[in-house]
Structure 1
């Protein structure tokens, strides 16, 4: 054994000597070798990640990673983003089953930054004590990627409450606080009411920023989306170079925001006389009216018939809502038009970022993903607008990804949730968090679909009153499980909901009391019990055979859903 080891050592020394003589490079290029790697060019798999041999062959060991995140953007809102469709989706992949685990801005963004579900990172709402002030951002994607040799940059919206709530990490005011791990920090702040700061994160024409610990408040009169676009290019210039970089750009669009405008829908009441508090994003003058001919009705209003004929199977908080009147539908259509216009402005800025990556010679080494923190309801289930509800318009988000080795213009139907996206970023970089991730890396799905074999856990607040109920803790009011064919939710108040998405893709009739689904209901309840407070590997456990879907079966169901969505809700 000792002689074999000695001979092996001598042979390796001879090979290395020959390589040095003839000039063969046995190391990966400077600045791209994983720090502390045990093998040259090796990529350690992140927890829940992909093995190196399941990565696209052309993908660098440590690619640059850019993640652009919109706010409250529906999965079908990509129709208003031609640049994204042309520069990213056409030359990349569109993930047709992308979901927010917690369809609310603050918890969803914390999940992306940590790779943990909300019940684990404990940011469970916008308000105290569950909002930004509860977020421990001392260890995030940024710190993990910096340890792996990445330069890191953050631009745009952080978490709701950043600027007005104290930092949990520093214990002091957050408006000058810069979280650890970021080489470049350019984050919008909510107005703390001090130091003469004006505007705020949700004022589209007057947004202050914390720029590396200093307040930059010189953008009054400039449209926020354009400012974030400028800052993204400046940050790209600062972080790109010989080391790989991670750039996280966060737009507020199409989230509602000030100032109020003359064409905002106002004074609209429902059939019961209740005044609707419809909200919209502000937009620059040049884009107003751009989609009036296309958006002839709300995307949540069917081409014919009511939003939902029978609401008796829905939870008590929405069961009694009346069908929208014609005036209400017109007002919701105006909301949809203004949202579309704000998305179009954002789309132009994402296009600038893509062109800058190409001009700087970084595109060939860069993976770029565009997504949203959550979806949005615009009339479905008689909900005039909003999120948090566990139904698909609220859960589904856009996700388009492009990078070396998968610039194919194809579609993928494997599920990707917010925590999966975090796991994927870490896997791409060969980085690790100090805890087991709740999500699964979808790097293997970049090559081909693998099937739907794991649950997508979902959580929500404000869907019912906070009554005690077995399995619920904290402020959560709805906990659910999403699979390829079934959507199963348990509410803190009211009956469970179970939908057979093969027969009822728009979740109009719950079958929770149908004896024909008794086996599926029992299986889903067991998965629900296993995931409602899960951590790490328990959140990624394999589904029972009854609930799994093959890649082919899942793709068939996904393409059928897209066709039916266009037929029932699509624009002509």
Structure 2
């Protein structure tokens, strides 16, 4: 990796937190497709000692939600500090500046205030980055995610297709993913695969920063696991007894939900060897095994980063955030390796924030949090001037008091079948309103006190008419009805 030994102070004004003799740094760690299935979230199955250790020095947000359960829109929303209703991006493909060319993003705000900002690994989506956010160009590892045998299988698949004159699509069935298994245990070291290499490069960058403590940094490190395919070094598979992994019990679609809404993505079905229809139990257990192993692989890399912070002395003035871009389904509602909807399992994510010397280290909070809240939160914690374009709310009051409340609801979006679904998660309800030009509005309502997994839509019950009216009024006062527009229908405009 190319290092930068001369991390010079920016010509911009350098802000220093009043509580620190040195400026406050940010280490932002992201994981792809990781649902809150960790020890610090009360899960007894997954081995996550390092993220759990981070939780002991920070705070776990037990009710954190992303603004869309899809990688790129979720990341764009978090990094911009704007709701998808503002960015206009609900799909994978466009960059943020196609709709908001003049926006100042979260890392760009730090860069503009004297920070060295850098992205390693998957922070924005692959091929959909934002160079204006970073002091130096984004870096991605060239190491593989798969074994040598799988790489050879992919080469042969492509060669055979070309010999037969068959066009290979970029994604989906028939793409090169059709030669990649959904899960694989690889006899290799951590650094032989992509995420381990990313951690090693991040550690090198931290050591470089430690040589110039006067230069504050915002270092974003993104891991690709546990996104399918669930491929990790074998030692992480060896942590688990497959026969003891608990299977989902709600293996049915949400009852009473609109048919178009009660769906998820088919990404998992693109990979080699995945059976059609319902998964046989032995295969389902292999999938869970691979997913848990992939989480433990990421956890080990987080541990390496935390150790580097301690070894370099940077821990004393570095905020650490661990965040995942959305939830995930592993058999619930019949969905495997999936998100792509507005339900609790897709929109609820991991969020742990640790600040140096925090008062409530090791505590958990039930305060509702949103990904758009991270931009104003980190801005305030680091003593930067406020960015009026950020639409979330600072979570600092919650870090100061876990019983505090800054949001009365969390919001998420998803387009389906020409409808644009907007969901509002309150303390008691998950309410979804689906709108489409020329079509009747569809509703979903789930009682989160009695139905936390959204198994039964109770919107049609007569006793809930007034509840739906009140929730809809509240929702639309904040977000007027918005039509989903395909990428070609969105006009560029000057936005801040």
Common fold by TM > 0.5: yes
* Residue 81 of structure 2: aligned partner: 115
Q: Is 1:334 paired with 2:286?
A: yes
1 CA distance for matches of 2:263 and 2:388? 44
2:208 aligned with 1:247: no
| Contact map agreement 1:124 1:130 (CA 8 A) in 2 | no
The 8 Å contact of residues 68 and 249 in structure 1, kept in 2 or not, is answered as yes
Instruction: Quote the Cα distance in structure 2 between the aligned partners of 1:458 and 1:106.
Output: 14
Is the CA contact (8 Å cut-off) linking 1:315 and 1:491 kept in structure 2?
no
Counterpart mapping for 1:172-183 below 5 A: 179-183=131-135
Say whether residues 1:292 and 2:241 are aligned partners.
Answer: yes
Which blocks of at least 5 consecutive residues in structure 1 are unaligned? 1-30, 44-57, 168-177, 190-197, 207-218, 257-279, 468-476, 536-572
Matched, 1:497 2:467: no
Could you say what the CA RMSD is over the residues aligned between the two structures, in angstroms?
Answer: 3.5
Report the CA distance shift for 1:223/1:365 in structure 2 as closer, same or farther (over 3 A): same
What secondary structure sits across from 1:520 in the alignment? helix
Cα distance, 1:112 vs. partner?
Answer: 1.6
Matched, 1:144 2:105: no
3-state secondary structure, aligned to 1:393: helix
Give the match for residue 202 of structure 2.
Answer: 232
CA deviation after TM superposition for structure 1 residue 60, in Å: 7.3
Tell me the distance in 2 between the aligned counterparts of 1:390 and 1:286: 35
- For residue 478 of structure 1, the aligned residue among 408, 418, 421 is 421
Tell me, in whole angstroms, the C-alpha distance in 2 between the residues paired with 1:231 and 1:137.
31
CA deviation digits over 1:132-177, x for unaligned, max 9? 9667486322221122222222110143351xx7x8xxxxxxxxxx
Specify the SS of the correspondent of 1:227: helix
For 1:11-30, what aligned pairs fall within 5 Å after superposition? none
1:158·1:188 contact (CA, 8 Å) conserved in 2? no
Higher relative contact order, structure no. (Cα contacts within 8 Å, ≥ 6 residues apart): 2
Shift of 1:398: 1.3
TM-superposed deviation, 1:440: 0.6
CA distance in 2, matches of 1:119, 1:485: 24
Paired with 2:280 and 2:96, the residues of 1 have a C-alpha distance of 32
Q: 1:223 aligns with which of 181, 188, 193?
A: 193
Q: Secondary structure at the match of 1:385?
A: strand
1:509 pairs with 2:462: no
**Count of residue pairs brought into register by the alignment:** 410
Question: Taking structure 1 as reference, are residues 319 and 120 closer, same or farther at Cα in structure 2, changes over 3 Å only?
Answer: closer
Q: How does 1:126-145 map to 2 (within 5 A)?
A: 126-127=92-93, 136=101, 139-145=104-110
In structure 2, relative to structure 1, the CA distance for the partners of 1:60 and 1:88 (3 Å cut) is farther
Q: Does residue 398 of structure 2 align to residue 455 of structure 1?
A: no
Q: Conserved in 1, the CA contact under 8 Å of 2:66 and 2:74? A: yes
SS of the residue corresponding to residue 527 of structure 1 reads helix
1:65 to 26, 29, 35: 26
Report whether the alignment pairs 1:314 with 2:257.
Answer: yes
Structure 1 residues 337, 495: CA separation in 2 closer, same or farther (over 3 Å shift)? same
Q: Cα–Cα, structure 1 residues 133 and 355, in superposed 2: closer, same or farther, change >3 Å?
A: same
Q: Does 1:354 align with 2:306?
A: yes
> Partner of 2:27: helix, strand, or coil?
strand
Q: Secondary structure of 1:180's match? A: helix
Shift of 1:373: 0.6
Q: For the residues of structure 2 that align with 1:147 and 1:36, how far apart are their CA atoms?
A: 9
Three-state SS of the structure 2 residue aligned to 1:490 is strand
Aligned partners of 1:454 and 1:83: how far apart in 2? 32
Q: Say if 2:261 is the partner of 1:283.
A: no
Within 5 A, what are the aligned runs for 1:421-432? 421-432=374-385
Structure-2 residue corresponding to 1:416: 369
CA–CA separation in structure 1 for the residues paired with 2:124 and 2:314: 29
Query: What are the Cα deviations for residues 446-488 of structure 1, in whole angstroms up to 9, with x where unaligned?
Result: 0112136422111013xx3116xxxxxxxxx321111111100
1:433/1:102 CA distance change after superposition, 3 Å: farther
Equivalent residue in structure 1 for 2:338, among 386, 389, 392: 386
Kept in 1, the 8 Å contact 2:278–2:334? The answer is no
| TM-superposition CA deviations, 1:490-544 (whole Å, max 9, x none) | 2247731011212222222222122322332112101221233599xxxxxxxxx
Determine the C-alpha separation between the residues in 2 that align with 1:497 and 1:223: 42
Task: Give the 3 Å change call, closer, same or farther, for CA 434–311 of structure 1 in structure 2.
Answer: closer
